[in-house]
Structure 1
Amino acid sequence: MVRVNDRGPFHEGRIIDLSYAAAVKLGIDKAGTAPVHIEVVEPPHRDSVLWIQAGALSSGERAEQLKKRLADITAGKWPVTINEKQKGDLTLHRVRIGPIAAGKANAVVEQLEKAGISPTVVLMQHQLDI
């Protein structure tokens, strides 16, 4: 997910143009163009809470290792949990930090990125079961 302020489109047949940095973040910088889905996301209320998903792994053992690493990185300030989700024959082990006050989530994401954990997904409560 990227935040869009006001870009284009600058070419016919497109609905949006991204900056190079946004394209890199979404992994579409090499192709040049890609189909996209646009969804308006309201900013969370200042007192709301968020969760940060740092991984969705098929290996329960690797998920446990990531959970321990996240707890170490965040010094135990927030709960780190593993949520299992069936996707066909595959079980995904989603490793999440939270709930975190909305105002602190960006700092936690930056802390994870400095530790080499990227990309992360920031979730609101209604997105937890997606």
Structure 2
Amino acid sequence: MKINNTLFTIVLTLLLVACSSSDSRYSISNDVGPDKPIQLDHIEDAHPVYEPFSRGGNRDYNLRGGSYKIIKNPDGFKQSGQASWYGKKFHGHLTSNGEIYDMYSMSAAHKTLPIPSYVKVTNKDNGKSTIVRINDRGPFHGGRIIDLSYAAAYKLNVVDTGTANVEIEYITTKPQPSTLNPTKALLSYSIQASSSNHEDRSKSLAQDINQSLSLETYIEPNNSNFRVLVGPFSNYSESEKVLQMLKTNGFPQAFIRKNNL
């Protein structure tokens, strides 16, 4: 048991320093953006849904002389400070809860909010705001309160400046008491693979996904846009597996959303 606890501590420490480490696990020493970034304008905010806190990344910890206590009840949490971002150096590596960091996803790192969490981030320098999903720990530089993915930083115009003055606000996703009613608790999930204002292209893409990956697809009009959706799925675990398949087959911007039946 002592050996297992020691091993767990070592692994946890490696994951916690993911956003700031300079060790040899990474192929490049200094973090940069992608060499040939994909088009990001169509990527939507993260969609807050209820998710149980993960087993990994939610223990109080000590790092570099600092002591960090995970916030157990973040309802109403707000914080102001500097945002930074992380990109290519960490792309494809593990986040603090064991997920794979994707610089094209709308995610972020925070020192003490529970994982996963959703927060609204407002760039106070230009008024832009977006919603991200917290799945990592950091940043551990003085004055910085959140480390944005490359995609989220792009949305807030933080890529060029490197840092920005922001305010973050926790978004509550806890089920409300009314959801205990079985007739209101039925949920399903779909995966949005793409969104475009070209109906013909969207239909063609949906057909390609269906034929090449053997996945059920459908189109959902949304004002002048047409969303290409995969599913629906009856449970979140199933949709997570398909999401990883899509991400490794040319859809790094795909994300899971909840459908109310």
2:209 to 45, 48, 70: 70
Q: Closer, same or farther in 2 for the Cα pair 1:66/1:37, shift >3 Å?
A: farther
- Structure 2 counterpart of 1:118: 252
| Structure 1, unpaired ranges of 5+ | none
Please state how far the C-alpha of 1:74 moved relative to its aligned partner: 3.2
Q: CA RMSD in A?
A: 3.1
The superposition leaves residues 89-113 of structure 1 with CA deviations (integer Å, 9 ceiling, x where unpaired) of xx10011012122112222111112
The superposition leaves residues 38-77 of structure 1 with CA deviations (integer Å, 9 ceiling, x where unpaired) of 534459xxx953110011111111101110122124313x
Is the CA contact (8 Å cut-off) linking 1:73 and 1:112 kept in structure 2?
no
Which amino acid is 1:81 matched to? Y
Q: What is the 5 A alignment of 1:41-56?
A: 41=173, 48-56=187-195
CA radius of gyration, larger in: 2
More RCO (CA 8 Å, sep 6+): 1
For 2:256 and 2:195, locate their aligned partners in 1 and report how far apart those are by CA, in whole Å. Answer: 13
- Structure 2 counterpart of 1:92: 225
Q: Percent identity?
A: 18
Give the number of the structure whose residues are more often strand, by fraction.
Answer: 2
Q: Closer, same or farther in 2 for the Cα pair 1:92/1:109, shift >3 Å?
A: same
For 1:27 and 1:63, locate their aligned partners in 2 and report how far apart those are by CA, in whole Å. Answer: 27
Give the number of the structure whose residues are more often helix, by fraction.
Answer: 1
| Structure 2, unpaired ranges of 5+ | 1-105, 108-133, 176-185
Which amino acid is 2:163 matched to? T
* SS class of match (1:54): strand
Q: What is the 5 A alignment of 1:23-42?
A: 23-28=149-154, 30-31=159-160, 32-34=162-164, 35=166, 38-41=170-173
Is the CA contact (8 Å cut-off) linking 2:240 and 2:256 kept in structure 1?
no
For 2:174 and 2:231, locate their aligned partners in 1 and report how far apart those are by CA, in whole Å. Answer: 20
Is the CA contact (8 Å cut-off) linking 2:187 and 2:259 kept in structure 1?
no
For 1:60 and 1:122, locate their aligned partners in 2 and report how far apart those are by CA, in whole Å. Answer: 21
Asked if 1:60 corresponds to 2:199, the answer is yes
Count of residues in correspondence between the two structures:
113
TM-score, normalised by the number of residues in structure 1 = 0.67
For 1:122 and 1:112, locate their aligned partners in 2 and report how far apart those are by CA, in whole Å. Answer: 11
Runs of 4 or more consecutive aligned structure 1 residues displaced over 4 Å after TM superposition: 34-38, 40-43
Please state how far the C-alpha of 1:27 moved relative to its aligned partner: 4.7
For 1:27 and 1:71, locate their aligned partners in 2 and report how far apart those are by CA, in whole Å. Answer: 32
